[in-house]
Amino acid sequence: MAAPLPKRIIKETERLQSEPVPGISAEPHEENARYFDVKVDGPSGSCYEGGEFQLELFLPDDYPMCPPRIRFLTKIYHPNIDRLGRICLDVLKNNWSPALQIRTILLSIQALLGAPNPEDPLNEAVAKQWKENQPEAIKTAREWTTLYAQKK
Amino acid sequence: MNLLQAAGPLSVSSGEGQSYSGVNEKADLMRQDELAAAEQKNASPSDLGAHDDARALVRLIQCSRCSLPFRMPVTLPCGNTICRACVPQSHEREHISYPDLPGRRQAFRCPFQQCAEEHPVSDCNVDVVLTKLMDSIAEVVAKHASAIERTPAALEAAERWDEGVSLPEKMATQEALAGRLVTTYLLAAEGKLARDAQMDYLPTPEVSGNESAMDVTILSELLETTQREVDCQVCYNLMLDPVTTFCGHTLCRNCLARVLDHSQHCPVCRRGLSIAPSLHSQASNKTLVNLLNGLCPEAVSARAEAVALEEAGGEGGLNTSLFVCTLGFPNQPTFLRIFEPRYRLMLRRCVEGSKEFGMLMYNRYLEPQGDLGPVHFYHYGIMLRIIHSQLLADGTSLIETRGAYRFRVKAHGVMDGYAVGNVERLDDVPLVEEERLEAEETSLPPAAEDDLAGQLTRMSTKDLLALGQDFIVRMQARSANWLQQRVLDIHGLPPDDAAMFPYWFASVLPISDEEKYKLMGTTTVRQRLKITASWIRRIESQRWYQSNSCQIL
């Protein structure tokens, strides 16, 4: 027997739909309102521009005391995102605060696409390439975006 | 035509329009402190009418030092609010070496007489929520006040009327135009209305209908614009018992306590929070509490009820907190250290509420549990009553509990990360049934020599108890480790009560919990004694045990 959905999650979901963020969408699953299908557009001016990235987002039982669990489903070439789509982002870990929300987290992820940080890598190989040959890395990221992140 | 009169502390006009000098004993003589105390006592929400209580409403946002509507309000650690400009001059504190953080050396004496404590300067920052509220209020008032200025004809008419050029009469005209709320606020904002001054509005039959409607409109507009400001940033609900951190951020008391279970940082600004995790000594934001109680009492009570319901486990009857940990027995003590954030929350709710929670044993191998199937706990548990709970400085707690009664979990769910359930108390059968059972079993034909269980079944309840007690005496004679004095200090001497003996025995005997768990589902005294007797027989049959009293099973 599942506990009723906290008011906070209901309100956040409503606001995500009534006041959507441009370039970001998050739709809850019908059978599990804690599980969201997320789409984030690659930020313009970045090597992910034109791509639409799919993510899954899950709100654990103790949300908002603990951060949402979130992962890229779309393959992406990025020093802070590993092959399984896991994201290295401080606000998803130690720097989480219950005053943050789904909206701000997704904005942070979009910002991470616009500003890859190879100094704090999750994907060593990509980070290495990013540091040693940035133009090549950016080229690969663009190719992957075209290959895997096309709007459906 | 005198519509209104602003009265200072010592002059009051009566309702009939007959003025006299005197004392309004109800409010005017009350000193600030008493007023504040009276406001505080008024804990149950009371509705303030937009029109009739305009004076009281404006007083809620008047600084008690300067009487102006709060400018950059600072909510002090004692829960009182003053303007930042009204914070008294600070002085250097002496003989303080810990924690010696920046800003803690400087302090000022609290200007509120009921507090009068020293507040470190660094603990007094601008109250973000109240500041936003004040800005919103000022905006709404300005919008409506400008309506007055846009009608110069009316003002001129007022000038002509007021040959004496007395302020109250001018105000009277304004009131007719903008309502009591705006008029009173403007008077306060101009510094012409002391916080503890009363205002008597004379009845104005011609315009009162309009005025009243206008006040209601303005107040509802205020409520609408400020609604989001008074939502807690953690639960997204109307703030319930708001507490303001030293950095100036406000959350529901419950939400802040939960935040502190997880981190010692403000969720809004991430500044370190030097607040005791219990929040017991933390004052509520009095200004905000009074505002919410005065403006939206229904919403406040609805919210309080919803929280109470939520903590009681919602409507599904899942009203028992369940702590999946270890085994415990009726009338026996259990000592626990609570450190996981979710269980800290559970413990706090229990301590504030029923003082009881259920403890279940962890079901490592997911053995099926009746209707519940393979769940992560064994379905018979013990209700623990909290005897003593000590909150340690790091937010973890040491608790002393005593087993109250056994129960079975009928349904379960999760609330805020910990298990909750609908439980059914498990009691022994009535004594008559117990007696009948004993008579029936003891009159069975003798059991075979190798039928150990059969032999135990035929023993009288008294003999079964004696078997256990004798065993204890023999073990004590051999200085068994598990019967050392410190064990007896905690669990007491073996009870004479046959119903309780097995629980005591299981608490001290070093055998596996899975074996001891067999006692949990029993409903007769005999059944339990037979179980303990079977343990004793098995222990005694193990020869290695004879030579070594340290390890059993």
pLDDT of residue B306: 87
A3 lies within 8 A of chain B by CB: yes
| pLDDT score recorded for residue B276 | 66
Question: Using 50, 70 and 90 to split pLDDT, how confident is the model at B5?
Answer: very low
* Average pLDDT, integer, range B482-487: 90
DSSP track, B210-235: HHHHHHHHHHHHHHHHHGGGGB-TTT
Q: What is the pLDDT of residue B359?
A: 96
Is the pLDDT at A11 greater than 60, yes or no?
Answer: yes
CA distance readout (Å), B38 to A26, B30, B400:
49, 10, 39
Distance CA(B145)–CA(B152), nearest Å, equals 13
Q: Which CATH number fits domain B229-310: 3.40.50.1110, 3.30.40.10, 3.20.20.150, 3.40.50.300?
A: 3.30.40.10
pTM higher than the cut 0.95:
no
pLDDT in tens, B497-507: 999 999 999 99
DSSP string, B254-294: HHHHHHHHH-SB-TTT--B----TT-TTPPP-HHHHHHHHH
Residue B427: pLDDT band (50, 70, 90) is confident
User: Which residues in B lie closer than 8 A to residue A59 (C-beta atoms)?
Assistant: none
Which of A81-95, B48-62, B136-150 ranks highest by mean pLDDT? A81-95
Q: Is the pLDDT of residue B178 over 80?
A: no
Nearest C-alpha in A relative to B413: A1
Q: Which of residues 22-51 of A touch B (CB under 8 A)?
A: none
* CB B385, CB B404: distance < 8 Å: yes
The minimum CA-CA distance between B418 and chain A, rounded to whole Å, is 9
Of B447 and B172, more confident: B447
- Residue B477 CA, distance from chain mean position: 51
Q: Any idea what the Cα angle at residue B284 is, between residues B349 and B307, rounded to 5°?
A: 35
Question: Which pLDDT value is given to residue B31?
Answer: 46
**What's the mean pLDDT when you consider all of chain B?**
82
In this prediction, residues A109-128 reach a mean pLDDT of 92
Among B271, B270, B281, B275, smallest CA distance to B102 is for: B271
How crowded is the C-beta side of A23, counted as CA atoms within 13 Å?
15
| Average pLDDT over every residue of B344-353 | 90
Note whether A7 contacts B236, CB cutoff 8 Å.
yes
**What does the alpha-carbon distance between residue B285 and residue B75 come to, in Å, rounded to a whole number?**
7
CA distance A121 to A79: 5
- Looking at residue B295, its pLDDT comes to 87
For residues A86 and A109, what is the distance between their CA atoms, to the nearest angstrom? 11
Whether the CB of A98 is below 8 Å from some CB of chain B: the reply is: yes
Domains of chain A and any CATH numbers: 7-148 (3.10.110.10)
- Check CB contact of A6 with chain B, cutoff 8 Å: yes
DSSP code of residue B404? E
Provide the percentage of residues in chain B whose pLDDT is more than 70: 81
Q: B40-44, B58-62, B160-164, B179-183 — which one is most confidently predicted on average?
A: B58-62
A66 is catalytic: no
pLDDT tens per residue across span B24-40: 333 333 344 444 444 44
Helices B128-149 and B167-189, packing angle to 10 deg = 150
Q: Dihedral through CA B315, CA B321, CA B327, CA B329, nearest 10?
A: -80
Distance CA A71, CA A35 (A): 12
| Residue pair B347/B389 in contact by the 8 Å Cβ criterion | yes
* A83-113 b/e (C-beta count within 10 Å ≥ 16 → b): eebbbbbeebeeebbbbbbbbebbbbbbebb
Report CA-CA distances (Å) from B494 to B60, B385, B505: 63, 21, 7
What's the pLDDT score for residue B157?
36
A7 neighbourhood in chain B, CB within 8 Å? 235-237
Q: Is the pLDDT of residue B432 over 60?
A: yes
Residue B510: is the preceding peptide bond cis (ω within 30°)? no
Enumerate the residues of chain A whose CB falls inside 8 A of the CB of residue B236. 7-8, 11-12
Residues B438-479: tens digit of each pLDDT: 999 999 998 888 888 899 999 999 999 999 999 999 999 988
pLDDT of B339 reads 92
Q: Does A93 touch chain B (CB under 8 A)?
A: no
Residue ranges per domain, chain B? 4-228, 229-310, 313-426, 431-547
Tokens 């219950």 -> residue: A98
> Higher pLDDT residue, B273 or A109?
A109
Superfamily of domain B313-426: LON domain-like (2.30.130.40)
Place of tokens 């505080």: B40
Residue type at position B496: D
CA distance B152 to B66: 31
